[in-house]
């Protein structure tokens, strides 16, 4: 298996000269659509393109890479197709693991600060936070979409990412300037095949990810397993029925009543900072009952939630029980 191409990105970055400036000029972001890439992303300029071959046990893989260097940061997009065309959850996991291991084996100067699983629609991914040569901080994201490996990477000097603060995995420890760069670049990635598999809630989350106040998604379970304080601004709230200010009851659809459809319907919801239902989608229940449950969920209202004194998004489930009459 080849190393994740992020290793190449970090080497290119290390060999260049990045100038840290007190008042960086505003960047002009524009959409970049690589021909044949099946994706798009925002770059602060026009990236350089490079095509190379990577030798693997499965044969040669053609890697398409696009890089751009600004005065104080570095950006990278790449994709390559595995020639065997194999895909599936276990294969994707193995390839993501192999890429991670290869990257750090090849680049001893890179220290892994944290790793977390990601997803775009039904496709898996990873995020790696790294410290390179104690002087550069980087965010790498990789995704396996069918038999294609996508990667995006962003790097900057530590002083750009953290100012005079200490390096950490915490989003809130980074400078506002660095976070704005990360939002514009990382959150702008769209992969066509993955977008087609996204539900309403995930699409809305990706919209929120571009907002200045948004700093990611955190489940309370993952926080309890970490020694560090929470780093994100969204909480998974479990079943939310009891937290509603106004929980709208769904109408019993006539067709469902006629066929004696009944049972529980689970609706996945995203609650915004004001307690409104920003997105809703049914995840379980009788097909004839789901539309009514989703409609009721969208019309419900919840108490705004705060975490560590700040408003947060809440991901959770509303459960409606339909009794046949």
Per domain, the residue ranges of the chain are 6-198, 220-322
61 Cβ contact partners less than 8 Å away, ≥ 6 residues apart: 2, 53, 54, 55, 80, 81, 82, 83
- Name the more confident of 240 and 38: 38
List, for residues 108-129, the tens digit of each pLDDT value: 899 999 999 999 999 999 999 9
- Tokens 């705004």 locate to 304
Q: In Å, how far are 74, 81, 86, 128, 139 from 100, measured between CA atoms?
A: 20, 17, 19, 9, 13
User: Are residues 82 and 61 in contact, defined by beta-carbon separation less than 8 angstroms?
Assistant: yes
Question: What is the domain class of 220-322 according to CATH?
Answer: alpha beta
The Cβ-side half-sphere exposure at 30, using a 13 Å CA radius, reads 6
Give the span between the Cα atoms of 203 and 191, in whole angstroms: 12
Give the span between the Cα atoms of 246 and 266, in whole angstroms: 17
Angle between helices 6-15 and 89-106 (to 10 degrees): 30
Q: How confident is the model at residue 22 (pLDDT cuts 50, 70, 90)?
A: low
Q: 63, 184, 190, 175: which is closest to 121 by C-alpha? A: 190
Give the span between the Cα atoms of 40 and 228, in whole angstroms: 34
Architecture of the 6-198 domain: 3-Layer(aba) Sandwich (3.40)
pTM of the shown model: 0.80
Q: Where are the alpha helices (DSSP H) in 196-307?
A: 200-208, 220-224, 254-258, 290-298
Q: How confident is the model at residue 299 (pLDDT cuts 50, 70, 90)?
A: very high
Give the span between the Cα atoms of 21 and 258, in whole angstroms: 70
What are φ and ψ of residue 289, in 5° steps? -100, -20
Give the span between the Cα atoms of 48 and 76, in whole angstroms: 10
Q: How confident is the model at residue 59 (pLDDT cuts 50, 70, 90)?
A: confident
Vertex 17: Cα angle to 11 and 18 (nearest 5): 100
User: Are residues 265 and 293 in contact, defined by beta-carbon separation less than 8 angstroms?
Assistant: yes
Q: Which two three-digit tokens encode residue 237?
A: 């709230």
Mean pLDDT of all residues in the chain?
84
Question: What does the pLDDT read at residue 54?
Answer: 78
- Tokens 């100038």 locate to 19
The Cβ-side half-sphere exposure at 107, using a 13 Å CA radius, reads 24
User: Are residues 156 and 137 in contact, defined by beta-carbon separation less than 8 angstroms?
Assistant: yes
Q: 26, 60, 65: which is closest to 45 by C-alpha? A: 26
The Cβ-side half-sphere exposure at 320, using a 13 Å CA radius, reads 30
List, for residues 172-216, the tens digit of each pLDDT value: 899 999 999 999 999 999 999 999 999 999 999 888 888 777 754
Of all residues in the chain, what percent carry a pLDDT higher than 70? 84
């Amino acid at each position: 298996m080849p190393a994740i191409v992020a290793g190449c990105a970090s080497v290119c970055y290390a060999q260049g000269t990045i100038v840290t400036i007190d008042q960086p000029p505003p960047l002009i972001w524009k959409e970049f659509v690589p021909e044949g890439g099946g994706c798009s992303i925002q770059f602060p300029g026009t990236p350089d393109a490079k095509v190379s071959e990577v030798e693997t046990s499965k044969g040669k893989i053609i890697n398409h890479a696009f890089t751009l260097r600004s005065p104080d940061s570095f950006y990278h997009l790449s994709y390559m197709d595995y020639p065997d065309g194999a895909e599936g959850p276990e294969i994707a996991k193995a390839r993501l693991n192999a890429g991670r291991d290869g990257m750090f084996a090849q680049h001893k100067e890179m220290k892994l600060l944290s790793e977390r699983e990601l997803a775009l629609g039904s496709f898996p991914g990873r995020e790696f936070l790294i410290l390179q040569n104690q002087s550069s901080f980087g965010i790498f994201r990789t995704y396996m979409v069918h038999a294609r490996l996508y990667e995006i990477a962003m790097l900057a000097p530590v002083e750009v990412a953290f100012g005079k603060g200490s390096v950490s995995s915490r989003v809130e420890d980074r400078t506002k300037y660095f976070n704005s760069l990360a939002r514009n670049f990382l959150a702008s990635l769209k992969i066509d095949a993955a977008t087609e598999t996204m539900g309403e809630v995930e699409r809305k989350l990706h919209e929120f990810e571009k907002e200045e106040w948004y700093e990611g998604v955190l489940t309370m379970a993952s926080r309890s397993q970490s020694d560090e304080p929470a780093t994100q601004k969204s909480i998974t709230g479990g079943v939310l029925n009891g937290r509603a200010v106004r929980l709208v009851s769904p109408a019993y659809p006539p067709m469902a009543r006629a066929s004696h459809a009944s049972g529980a319907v689970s609706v996945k919801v995203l609650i915004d900072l004001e307690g409104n239902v920003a997105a809703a989608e049914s995840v379980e229940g009788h097909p004839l009952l789901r539309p009514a449950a989703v409609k009721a969920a969208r019309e419900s209202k919840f108490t705004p939630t705060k975490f560590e004194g700040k408003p947060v998004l809440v991901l959770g489930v509303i459960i409606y029980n339909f009794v046949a009459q």
